[in-house]
């Protein structure tokens, strides 16, 4: 995930469990060459945040009462966080991110949008899944959030133990003077061989091979081994060659061995989707990576947003080899909708047939496709794809939809009020040197009911952000469309229809990587009903992460999917082309009825659950599924086989189906 809404839901009061952090500095268990960036191993007193942290946990089986709707899962515990010890639970959308588990300890990243004041990686002891215990917080760099965390074991001449990689993504929060506070991107490496006494190995690694790449944020990461060496893949937020490979065999001295990206494999002729983008968030960048060994090769599975799935042979990490990619079906196979949004977010191979089939998930937070339609002097209607602003009033709050209104040119960037009469009209504004918020405020002050902003260079669409404005809608279009609209207004075109067209949320697709050639085929898909419910319920009904069940267990063929407001979902992927929906869990946490549903007045209420991350694991011989619920904390579930979710946990059902 790269963007999220700033919603916060109510949480019931729960009892606090206070855990003091360890303060003893540990002796090194490794050779003298393992030094932290400060010249010596960092002990718990220096690594863990220096304050007590209160925790909250509920361990009653929620499925037995009104506090959950569940099939195929048993609730074991929920552990929430109180960062500052003030008795207020620090959850809610924008709090925690991904979760990973290693040897009985859960590692949970933090987001804390928008102020990014409490950041790092939470460490929780889950050896007793019904009674999680807080251990400490591994801080990230100042003003930097942790979107992804991974833990792996290493054993070589330089390092023997468990190593944690936490991504560093700048928050870009304001200083109050229009600028942003200083931050660092890159990745932080910790020795977590003893989770109670961690050691910092490398902080904020950001240097490229040439040293010219500057500060770049990292969104996702993955470990793998090859020929006795350990590698770490990074998703670079800021550079076009955005897949970086580090040799971290000596973790205190990572060395970048490769930096590649879509221009190395795709062009406008061979892949117009991948190079040009799709939908309202048209872009091409790597979002997530996954690496596995198949057929004697090390295969990298890259989720490349509108370019779909890209496979690389990473057997020689210094020289990645392109194997092929997928395209999106422009008709949209789920929900009987037209058009495609793209947004490949995560890709994980199913174990069947040695990695042939890949489960790829799209992250689409907008269930609507925005458009502006008008008739220029030629009389031929023009339909322009647009992106609705995140801070303006949703067009769905206006009536009718589509909304026909007269458009007026603002005569430029509208960074100050200019006297143009915009009363009751849509302002057409150029992007430029001032904020979208200021443009909106100036246009509204001059009487406009909404605005269409067009790019000042290029046709890419951006999601306009700001602090908010009431009773005023906003759309963004590409430069060529904006210039054409300026011409149409100047030549007398008056009526412009702005519309939000429902096209569903992000869902899961199945990609066959052995269909011949270097173009992979989409051979299946899965979406719960809420993904294509028109009108959508409040909440986030796009999918997010996928992790297959632990190998060697009865859940090896089960795909566990964190689906934000639709909770935790289990799919039998033993036949990847015919996924079977076997489980779903949605926590209620004290709501009068379990959302998504209707309240006593018949109004839709938002979901209490909002899962970002998922990690299935084995603890004392039992399979558990850990989920990072942004509304409630770290959730521990026990899955069961043979469930049938049917049509899923639908609004108004209550209880268990």
Q: 450 and 469 in contact (C-beta within 8 Å)?
A: no
Tell me, yes or no, if the pTM score tops 0.85.
Answer: no
Q: How many CB atoms lie within 10 A of CB 603?
A: 8
Which of these, 427, 420, 431, lies nearest to 452 by C-alpha position?
A: 427
Q: Is the pLDDT of residue 103 over 50?
A: yes
- Per-residue model confidence (pLDDT) at position 347: 97
Task: For CA atoms 428, 430, 436, 438, give the dihedral sign.
Answer: negative
Residue 106 has pLDDT above 80, yes or no: yes
C-alpha span between 189 and 514 (Å, rounded): 36
Q: What integer is the mean pLDDT of 116-128?
A: 86
Q: State the pLDDT confidence band at 212, using cuts at 50, 70 and 90.
A: very low
Question: How confident is the model over 420-464, as pLDDT tens digits?
Answer: 999 999 999 999 989 999 999 999 999 999 999 999 988 878 878
Element (H, E) at 45: helix 44-47
Residue 181: its pLDDT value, please? Answer: 56
- Domain 368-502 bears CATH identifier 2.40.50.100: no
User: pLDDT tens, 157-187?
Assistant: 999 999 999 998 887 554 444 445 566 788 9
Give CA 131 to chain center in angstroms.
Answer: 28
pLDDT at 648: 57
Cα dihedral across residues 393, 467, 362, 270: positive or negative: positive
Mind listing the pLDDT tens digit for each residue in 301-325? 999 988 899 999 999 999 999 999 9
The more confidently predicted of residues 478 and 11 is 478
The mean pLDDT value of the chain amounts to: 79
Backbone phi and psi for residue 452, each to the nearest 5 degrees, phi listed first = -120, 115
Share of the chain above pLDDT 90, in %: 48
Q: What's the number of CA atoms in the CB half-sphere (13 Å) around residue 543?
A: 29
The string of pLDDT tens digits covering residues 512-559 is 999 877 889 999 999 998 888 766 677 788 999 999 999 999 999 999
Higher-scoring residue by pLDDT: 588, 15: 588
Residues in the chain: 657
């Amino acid at each position: 995930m790269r963007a999220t809404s700033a919603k916060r839901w109510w949480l019931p009061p729960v009892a606090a469990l206070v855990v003091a952090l360890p303060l003893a500095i540990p002796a090194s268990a490794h050779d003298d060459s393992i030094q932290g960036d400060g010249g010596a191993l960092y002990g718990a007193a220096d690594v863990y945040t220096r304050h007590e942290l209160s925790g909250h946990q509920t361990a009653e089986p929620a499925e037995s009462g009104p506090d959950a709707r569940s099939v195929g899962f048993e609730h074991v515990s929920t552990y929430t966080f109180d960062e500052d010890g003030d008795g207020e639970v620090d959850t809610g959308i924008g709090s925690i991110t991904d979760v990973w588990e290693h040897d009985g300890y859960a590692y949970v990243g933090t987001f804390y949008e928008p102020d990014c004041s409490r950041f790092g990686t939470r460490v929780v002891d889950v050896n007793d899944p019904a009674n999680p215990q807080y251990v400490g917080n591994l801080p990230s760099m100042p003003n930097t959030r942790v979107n992804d965390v991974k833990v792996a074991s290493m054993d070589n001449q330089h390092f023997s133990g468990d190593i944690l990689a936490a991504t560093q993504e700048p928050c870009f929060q304001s200083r109050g003077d229009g600028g942003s506070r200083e931050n660092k991107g890159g990745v932080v490496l910790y020795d977590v061989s003893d989770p109670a006494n961690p050691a910092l190995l490398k902080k904020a690694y950001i240097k490229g091979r040439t040293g010219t790449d500057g500060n770049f944020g990292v969104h996702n990461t993955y470990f793998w081994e090859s020929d006795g060496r350990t590698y770490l893949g990074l998703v670079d937020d800021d550079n076009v060659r955005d897949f970086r490979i580090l040799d971290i065999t000596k973790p205190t001295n990572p060395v970048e061995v490769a930096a590649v990206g879509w221009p190395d494999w795709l062009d406008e002729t061979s892949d117009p989707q991948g190079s040009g983008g799709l939908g309202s968030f048209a872009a091409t960048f790597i979002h997530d990576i996954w690496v596995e060994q198949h057929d004697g090769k090390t295969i990298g599975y890259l989720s490349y947003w509108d370019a779909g799935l890209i496979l690389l042979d990473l057997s020689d990490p210094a020289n990645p080899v392109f194997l092929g990619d997928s395209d999106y079906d422009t008709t949209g196979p789920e929900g009987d909708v037209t058009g495609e949004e793209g947004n490949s977010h995560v890709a994980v191979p199913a174990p069947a047939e040695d990695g042939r089939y890949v489960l790829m998930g799209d992250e689409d937070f907008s269930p609507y496709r925005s458009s502006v339609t008008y008739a220029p002097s030629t009389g031929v209607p023009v339909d322009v794809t647009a992106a609705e602003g995140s801070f303006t009033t949703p067009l769905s709050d206006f009536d009718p939809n589509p909304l026909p209104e007269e458009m007026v040119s603002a005569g430029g960037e509208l960074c100050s009020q200019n006297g143009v009469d915009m009363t009751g009209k849509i302002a057409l504004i150029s992007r430029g040197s001032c904020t979208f918020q200021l443009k909106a405020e100036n246009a509204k002050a001059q009487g406009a009911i909404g605005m269409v902003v067009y790019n000042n260079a290029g046709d890419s669409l951006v999601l306009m952000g700001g602090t908010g404005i009431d009773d005023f809608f906003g759309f963004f279009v590409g430069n060529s469309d904006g210039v054409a609209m300026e011409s149409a207004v100047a030549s007398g075109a008056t009526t412009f229809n702005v519309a939000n067209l429902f096209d569903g949320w992000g869902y899961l697709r199945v990609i066959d990587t052995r269909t011949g050639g270097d173009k992979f085929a989409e051979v299946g898909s899965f979406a719960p009903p809420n993904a294509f419910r028109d009108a959508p319920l409040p909440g986030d009904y796009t999918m997010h992460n996928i992790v297959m069940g632990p190998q060697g267990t009865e859940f090896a063929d089960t795909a566990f999917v964190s689906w934000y407001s639709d909770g935790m979902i289990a799919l039998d992927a033993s036949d990847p082309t015919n996924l079977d929906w076997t489980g779903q869990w949605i926590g209620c946490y004290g709501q009068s009825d379990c959302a998504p549903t209707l309240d006593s007045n018949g109004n839709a209420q938002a979901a209490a659950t909002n899962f970002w991350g998922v990690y299935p694991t084995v603890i004392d011989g039992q399979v558990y599924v850990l989920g990072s619920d942004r509304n409630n904390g770290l959730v521990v579930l026990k899955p069961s086989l043979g469930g049938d979710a049917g049509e899923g946990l639908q609004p108004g059902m209550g209880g268990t189906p």
